[in-house]
Chains A and B, each alone.
Chain A
Amino acid sequence: AQSVTQPDIHITVSEGASLELRCNYSYGATPYLFWYVQSPGQGLQLLLKYFSGDTLVQGIKGFEAEFKRSQSSFNLRKPSVHWSDAAEYFCAVGARNFNKFYFGSGTKLNVKP
């Protein structure tokens, strides 16, 4: 069965510190992986996606993610967090035909000044 696990419900980091948000997935075929960000009261915005090729993908706003097949992980990273990055982050896995996405339960990021 397909599933996505984000083990950290809340994370607090200081502004300027590095960030890593964890994502593990269970999927029966080659996964298509995504990270989205949701600001309060808003819809989701795509940060980055992985389909194939280089396992380190770059996204918008200085984010990157690394696909590790052996660990079934797709962790999101940012070297230096800004206060505006405070939001909720969702990892998702897509079916090959993109009929549907499976989302994790989200990680809420708080940024301390």
Chain B
Amino acid sequence: NAGVMQNPRHLVRRRGQEARLRCSPMKGHSHVYWYRQLPEEGLKFMVYLQKENIIDESGMPKERFSAEFPKEGPSILRIQQVVRGDSAAYFCASSPPGAPDTQYFGPGTRLTVL
């Protein structure tokens, strides 16, 4: 059973471009969480999704950031018009139905904005 997969592992964008980060949860997992880790800091919650639903997006910046978890395919975190301050590691975690307390983390996508 493959773990949580994230791609790309490294992403470089210039200011103003769009960044798309993908997360494939573990097989059978229906809950996906996105976190952002700035250098020298812990992880900060961004958004919690179930299939086709955003459950909690209280950690998402109000502008330029969006997330989805469609019925088919991976979860996508989208950052429009990236700025240097968006440079960070973005981690996805998934959990199975009925066990949201146990989150399995992916290896992360490291976004660098030039």
Chain A residues within CB distance 8 Å of chain B = 4, 6, 32, 36, 41-46, 49, 51, 90, 92, 94, 97-106
| Docked-complex contact A104 and B42, CB < 8 angstroms | yes
A-B contact count (CB 8 A): 58
A-B complex: 7 closest residue pairs judged by Cβ atoms: A43-B105, A103-B42, A98-B100, A100-B45, A44-B105, A103-B43, A99-B56
| Docked-complex contact A100 and B56, CB < 8 angstroms | yes
Chain A residues closer than 8 Å to B43, beta-carbon distance: 44, 90, 92, 101, 103
Question: A-facing mask of B92-108, CB < 8 A → 1, else 0?
Answer: 01010000111111111
B window 1-20: CB within 8 A of A: 4
| Docked-complex contact B101 and A102, CB < 8 angstroms | no
| Docked-complex contact A43 and B4, CB < 8 angstroms | yes
| Docked-complex contact B56 and A41, CB < 8 angstroms | no
Q: Shortest beta-carbon distance, A27 to chain B, in Å? A: 14
Q: Is B91 an interface residue (CB 8 A)?
A: yes
Q: Which residue of B lies closest to A90 (CB)?
A: B42
| Docked-complex contact A44 and B91, CB < 8 angstroms | yes
Q: Is B48 an interface residue (CB 8 A)?
A: yes
Instruction: For the complex, give the distance between the alpha carbons of A100 and B55 in Å.
Output: 10
B window 50-103: CB within 8 A of A: 55-56, 58-59, 91, 93, 95, 100-103
